[in-house]
Amino acid sequence: MTAAPPAAAPPAVRPAGTAGTAGTAGTVRSARPARSARARTAVAALVGALVLLLLPGVSSARAEAPAPPPMRDGYGLTQVGAATGSATDFVITVTTPEVAGAHTVRILLPADYATRPDARYPVLYFLHGASAGPTDPRLAYPALTASRSMITVIPDGGLRGWYTDWIDRTTAAGVQNWQTFHLTQVVPFIDANLRTLTDRKHRAVGGLSMGGFGALHYAQARPELFGHVLTMSGANDLSADEMVIRGAVVGTLTNAGTVLCAPAPGEPCGFDYGPTVSSDAIFGTPYPVFNLDWRWNAADPVSHAGLLADTDVAVYTGNGNGDPAGMEFWAEGTAKRLTDRLTALGIPHRYVNYGGGAGWGPACDGGHSHGCWAQDLVDYVPRLEAAFAA
């Protein structure tokens, strides 16, 4: 990583000169010395103002802050409005025929992106969980925003898009082709607009919870795109062996959890995922009867773990403190099934189970929480950066 050179010190400015020798005694005082003093004061003020303009970090009221790089429409994406945010952490809004509505994409650039116009960077596509979105401030994890060697892209995955093209295009939610949106539109759009390294060795996909499933699913569906995959507390197993995970997916579709909501006044229900749709909207029936659940099995990361043979795999989980009422308890089960399968296939991988969270960062309680995921990234990002650089 190359740091930007320090700004040069401002040129030294000589203080304004003092008055000359005093006149002889008895000389009548004229207005001329007063006018000269006022002129010197004006010159000093002007010089001082010019020096302030040259000092690093000081700008005039009319100076503009650095802006995000321009992004041109393409690959089926049309931008709505201007980008918001800073030059290194900004959000664009796009529309696409593949997914109903408008969708945000958050982009984190290295601090020196603008000052190194010849440099190209690897990219991490980071996928959020259910009931969230790219503008969630908690997704600006320090390990991601502090990176000076890679770009991070956080695309909208919907409140319950499940990083898949839904089989039912006629639901109240409209068209939901999330996989097509991300892999055939967002990825080439980013490569066309930013200075990226476009080979699979320099492209990673990772995510948390629903996004952990999405990362595995995308790495398996398009192995030519991604050389690295990360799942944190992911829904890693959609097979009939993990019917609780299938139930969680169905719950996001049918909004079954809204009966448990008691939000504060004016706050939304965290279990309301948008228009209620059929339990079969994404993968068809979840019930393992007469192989009617074949689409669930086709999308199951554990069943297709062999597709990760040439991919750098990392799996992180807690144990939810052994409480089956918490999501992390079940996420741990899917992580174990995935890593057991990878081991049986002889596929190298990194598996971190931090249990109840003791010693895993200052805010990790072993649950399905941002405090644990922040520490996952503290551990993972340097390893990914080293793999990118290798």
pLDDT at 253: 97
Shared domain for 253 and 382, answered yes or no, is yes
Q: Which two tokens stand for residue 13?
A: 């400015």
Q: Quick one: 209 and 327 in the same domain?
A: yes
Q: Does residue 281 share a domain with residue 234?
A: yes
Q: Is residue 259 part of a domain?
A: yes
Quick one: 170 and 201 in the same domain? yes
47 and 188 belong to one structural domain: no
Q: What angle do CA 340, 243, 282 make, to 5 degrees?
A: 105
With tokens 């980013």, the residue in question is: 190
Spatial distance between the Cα atoms of 177 and 294, rounded to a whole number of angstroms: 19
Residue 306 and residue 242 share a domain:
yes
In a domain, 23, yes or no: no
Q: Which domain holds residue 46?
A: 33-63
pLDDT in tens, 105-137: 999 999 999 999 999 999 999 999 999 999 999
Helical H segments across 55-164, by residue range:
142-145
Torsional sign, CA 130, 131, 133, 138: negative
* Percentage of the chain lying above the pLDDT 90 cut: 78
CA 77/CA 162 separation, integer angstroms: 20
Calculate what percentage of the chain has a pLDDT beyond 70: 81
Residue 161's domain is classified under what CATH number?
3.40.50.1820
pLDDT band of residue 267 (cuts 50, 70, 90) is: low
Q: How confident is the model over 175-186, as pLDDT tens digits? A: 999 999 999 999
Structural domain includes residue 26: no
pLDDT in tens, 90-113: 999 999 999 999 999 999 999 999
**Contact criterion met (CB below 8 Å) for 252 and 277:** no
Same domain, 174 and 289: yes
Residue 357 lies in a domain: yes
Same domain, 208 and 111: yes
- 259 and 303: one domain? yes
- The answer to whether 129 and 158 are in contact (CB under 8 A) is no
Do 38 and 114 sit in the same domain of this protein? no
Residue 309 domain-assigned (yes or no): yes
Q: Is residue 6 part of a domain?
A: no
Residue 278 in domain = yes
Mean pLDDT of 175-201: 98
- Together in a domain, 153 and 43: no
Same domain, 41 and 128: no
pLDDT for residue 3: 42
Q: What is the mean pLDDT of residues 188-217?
A: 98
Higher pLDDT, 5 or 99: 99
Q: pTM value?
A: 0.83
Please report which confidence band the pLDDT of residue 21 belongs to, taking 50, 70 and 90 as the band edges: very low
Residue 356 falls within a domain, yes or no? yes
Tally of domains in the chain: 2
Instruction: Please determine, for residue 359, whether its predicted confidence score (pLDDT) is greater than 80.
Output: yes
pLDDT over threshold 50, residue 226: yes
Work out the pLDDT band at 48, boundaries 50, 70, 90.
Answer: very low
